[in-house]
Amino acid sequence: MKVLKFGGTSVGTAESILSVKSIVAAAEKPVVVVVSALGGVTDALLEAAARAEAGEPDYRARLDALRTRHLGLVDRLVADKAEKDSLKDRIEALLGRLCDLCRGVFLLRDLSERVRDEIASFGERLSATILASVLDDAVLLDPLRFIKTVQHGGRTELDSELTATLIQGTFQAYAAPGTVALVPGFIATDTESGRITTLGRGGSDYTASLIAAALDAELLEIWTDVDGFMTADPRIIQTSYPIDELSYAEAMELCNFGAKVIYPPSLYPVFRKDIPIRILNTFNPGAPGTLIQREARHGSAPIAGIASIGDTCLLTVSAPSMVDIIGVDSRIFSALAAAGISIFFVCQSSSETGISLGVRSADAERALELLSATFAREIAEGSMHPVALERGLSTVAVVGENMRHKTGVAGKLFSTLGRNGISIIAIAQGETKSNISFVVEQQFTRKALNVIHDSFFLSEYQELNLFVCGVGTVGAKLLEQIAGQSEKLMKERNLKINIVGIARSTKGIFDRAGIDPKNYRDRLENGIPLDIDKLRDEVIGMNIFNSVFVDCTASFEVATLYEAFFNHGISVVAANKVAASSDYGTYHKLKETAMRHGVKFLFETNVGAGLPIINTINDLCNSGDRIEKIEAVLSGTLNFIFNTISADVPFSETVRRAKEEGYSEPDPRIDLSGKDVIRKLVILSREAGYKVNQEDVQAEPFIPKEFFECSLEEFWAKLPSLDAGFEARRKELEARDERWRYVAKMEDGKYTVSLRTVGNHHSFYVLDGSNNIILITTERYHKHPMLIQGYGAGAGVTAAGVFADIMSIANI
Ligand code: ADP
Ligand code: ASP
Ligand code: MG
């Protein structure tokens, strides 16, 4: 015989009840069917009772809603008029009693446990009454006659022996082939007083398990709304998937740590009788579901599943030395057990100076009081510290019997957490070695579950989550390149690039599921309004793993956010030069903060666009070389200007073209003043190991001062006045076969940027268009310096450089 249990999620609507009907019709008979209240009804009943106790007349509206919901179902499910009327009468009778009870509570403003339990029992009584009419040939049995509880230490506990005997006695009459015995779950009666009690929230699973165990059923089927026991809570982890098989022990660990799929006490009765459980989906009955039995066959993954208790408080009992204090552990556990407080996590330091206990927040205050009272004398004497209570925490458990045979699981687990900036407050590993649990701050729960799930279950691909800030020329180009490349990266590198945020100066869109880089413009226009604080809060608030903030702006404000991002485990790739060229203290602190949090701060495109300059300097330094001298043409804009100037194209015209073709900054004076080159030289020198600031760089202006002091409009108007002077000098250079180059130089602690002339033997002489060139003289590259040359500006190559930085974070 099988026992089938249908949860509230399976009997919430007329459609789902019809699925239940066909599942039961297809089952081999005799069969026992246990049913929960309609989804949400138990909560609604308890809420109505609480409102009545508070003297709020709106409890009646809540009862009315329940009435409408149940009668509405009858209308939709039962066609025959006489049958419908009779069923409605039975429902009205139950509702009448429920209303009386709630009215009593309202009048007395008193809700005893006894009345609360009775009110809660109506959910299952109502749903089972409806199901009895809908299922073919079902006999409705009354669990109040055979599920028995006793009071123990103020708590309701199962009267297990009596229950087993009564079940066996009752069901003898329903063992004939073809019988469908229908039982409302969750409810029971007190052995002594006969009053209605319940088996606790989620208790219908328990009813079903007790019946299965007492009748030696061949299988217990738990029908719910997911395809089985999943690798993680599907409401939190979208990529979770059903587990084929679990052992009882694994299922127990996962359920105790919050996997809501089965009520934890339900596992024990069937485990004792070795009766397997199958978790199945009422909405997808063809799916194989999850089989839970003594020995489970496991796949290759070292763990079976992950679960979490998002409501954890940690109590710590500690002393400078507990060695001299006898029986601390026993006193702790006795005090809490006597009060019925359950401890789901214990962690004790080996030096015996402290023990930390995980309890739910509802129990925390009481537990604190009890433990403080238990050790009052020692605390007063100073031989123990006051008991500490930390709130707002979360416990995550990683479960799997495969862990016993595999090494390195803890290593992988904790390094994954560390890489994602999640710090661990306490750790415990069970003796069975099939559960490692740890406590983190509540805000990190989702992220911790995500990164663990990703690294243990989805290792066939890696996911990198990007926030792209700035969709001007570089940002837009980057998104275009990502769109074009993502399929290939997924196929060839197992890397999924997920754009989780796109922002421009006043608007942003954030979406964990991913934003299509081909079609984001309209979404962005309708995005949420942003200012700098909101941008920071949104990015950090998403608390997403393996994430990178990509700054494609030139904004000072955006650069001020990097430190907060590093502190939250987010890497930064910046095309924006502001941070790396800001004062040395800020630059240093940013690098140090990123390192401390195990995240990256990359800005290769700050100098020479996509050219591999900073990486090369880093590689040289890391391998023990010393950079002695840097000489470089680093301004694509200035190089363009001095390569374009000719007898036909005067100086002012070259500046205008540089602006129009997108080489220069919107205000070209940033280029003409050498400021941009100064910033680049500072960044390179710092990366080469020198402590330098922008003020340390000597700049020789080649344009009179007044051009920098006027408005941009005046500047453009005055610019042609310089043409004649430049033309005269250009002719001289042409005669000597020399060229202008704007050169940045670092040597012997001196930093200069200046317009120089180079002859045709100099390596800077041939340098087309907006190209950059850099000569690096080092201890090893001494006589013949290293030379890097190529496009030093342009959206395409800059975006490609940013993309390369992103790839190096993915470490593929
Ligand atoms: P029922 O009404 O059928 O008893 P429950 O709501 O009690 O259903 O339990 C099923 C729900 O448990 C699922 O809808 C799912 O959201 C949640 N859940 C949490 N963790 C897991 C997990 N690891 N596997 C499957 N479901 C889980
Ligand atoms: N209806 C009860 C509850 O919501 C029992 C159950 O669904 O298992 O807790
Ligand atoms: Mg349930």
| The pLDDT value given to residue 798 | 94
Atom of ligand 1 nearest to the CA of 229: 24
| The pLDDT value given to residue 329 | 86
| The pLDDT value given to residue 662 | 75
Mean per-residue pLDDT, 631-637: 94
| The pLDDT value given to residue 353 | 78
118 ligand 1 Cβ < 6 A: no
Residue 117 has pLDDT above 60, yes or no: yes
Helix (H) or strand (E) segment spanning residue 155: strand 155-158
Structure tokens at 670: 């940033």
| The pLDDT value given to residue 690 | 97
Q: How many angstroms is it from 225 CA to the middle of ligand 3?
A: 10
| The pLDDT value given to residue 352 | 61
Other Cβ atoms within 10 Å of 99 Cβ, number: 18
Q: Do 309 and 360 form a contact (C-beta atoms < 8 A)?
A: yes
> What are the φ/ψ torsions at residue 480 (nearest 5 degrees)?
-65, -45
Structure tokens at 23: 């599942």
Residue 324 has pLDDT above 80, yes or no: no
| pLDDT band at 152; cut points 50, 70, 90 | confident
The closest residue, in CA terms, to atom 5 on ligand 2 is: 202
* Ligand with the closest atom to the CA of 242: 1
The answer for residues whose C-beta is within 8 angstroms of residue 800's C-beta and 6 or more apart is 481, 610
| The pLDDT value given to residue 805 | 97
Other Cβ atoms within 10 Å of 422 Cβ, number: 24
| The pLDDT value given to residue 109 | 97
> Per-residue b/e over 585-619, b at no fewer than 16 CB within 10 Å?
ebbeebbebbeebebbbbbbbbbbbbbebbbbbee
Alpha carbon 694 to its chain centroid, in Å, reads: 40
226 ligand 1 Cβ < 6 A: yes
* Ligand with the closest atom to the CA of 42: 2
* Ligand with the closest atom to the CA of 240: 1
Selecting among 273, 680, 745, 783, the annotated active-site residue is 680
Residue 684 has pLDDT above 70, yes or no: yes
* Ligand with the closest atom to the CA of 206: 2
d(CA 92, CA 100): 12
- Alpha-helical runs (H) found in 497-561: 521-525, 532-542, 556-559
| pLDDT band at 611; cut points 50, 70, 90 | very high
Q: How many angstroms is it from 517 CA to the middle of ligand 2?
A: 44
* pLDDT greater at residue 636 or residue 743: 743
| pLDDT band at 420; cut points 50, 70, 90 | confident
Other Cβ atoms within 10 Å of 240 Cβ, number: 21
| pLDDT band at 319; cut points 50, 70, 90 | confident
Q: How many angstroms is it from 237 CA to the middle of ligand 1?
A: 13
201 ligand 1 Cβ < 6 A: no
Q: Which of 11, 260, 282 to mutate for ligand 1's pocket (most ligand atoms within 8 Å of CB)?
A: 260
Q: pLDDT tens digits, residue range 471-482?
A: 999 999 999 999
Atom of ligand 2 nearest to the CA of 43: 4
Q: pLDDT tens digits, residue range 533-564?
A: 999 999 999 888 889 999 999 999 999 999 99
| The pLDDT value given to residue 215 | 97
Q: Do 30 and 3 form a contact (C-beta atoms < 8 A)?
A: no
Atom of ligand 1 nearest to the CA of 205: 4
| pLDDT band at 140; cut points 50, 70, 90 | very high
Under DSSP, the state recorded for 192 is: T
| The pLDDT value given to residue 452 | 93
- The one-letter amino acid at 771: N
Q: Indicate if 680 belongs to the active site.
A: yes
The answer for residues whose C-beta is within 8 angstroms of residue 620's C-beta and 6 or more apart is 627, 776, 778, 780, 781, 786
Q: Do 437 and 779 form a contact (C-beta atoms < 8 A)?
A: no
Q: Do 667 and 712 form a contact (C-beta atoms < 8 A)?
A: yes
Atom of ligand 1 nearest to the CA of 204: 4
Q: What percent of the chain has pLDDT over 90?
A: 83
Sheet holding 187-190, edge to edge: 155-158, 148-152, 187-190, 196-198
209 ligand 2 Cβ < 6 A: no
| The pLDDT value given to residue 351 | 61
| The pLDDT value given to residue 773 | 96
Alpha carbon 587 to its chain centroid, in Å, reads: 29
Going 59 to 63 to 64 to 65, the CA torsion angle's sign is: positive
Other Cβ atoms within 10 Å of 729 Cβ, number: 15
Q: How many angstroms is it from 258 CA to the middle of ligand 1?
A: 10
Under DSSP, the state recorded for 208 is: H
Using DSSP, state whether 673 is helix, strand or coil: coil
d(CA 365, CA 317): 14
Q: How many angstroms is it from 251 CA to the middle of ligand 1?
A: 13
d(CA 580, CA 49): 62
* pLDDT greater at residue 598 or residue 470: 470
Q: pLDDT tens digits, residue range 57-73?
A: 999 999 999 999 999 99
201 ligand 2 Cβ < 6 A: yes
Residues facing 388 on adjacent strands = 316
| pLDDT band at 421; cut points 50, 70, 90 | confident
Average pLDDT, the chain: 94
| The pLDDT value given to residue 327 | 82
User: How many secondary structure helices (H) and strands (E) does the chain include?
Assistant: 29, 31
Using DSSP, state whether 35 is helix, strand or coil: strand
| pLDDT band at 460; cut points 50, 70, 90 | low
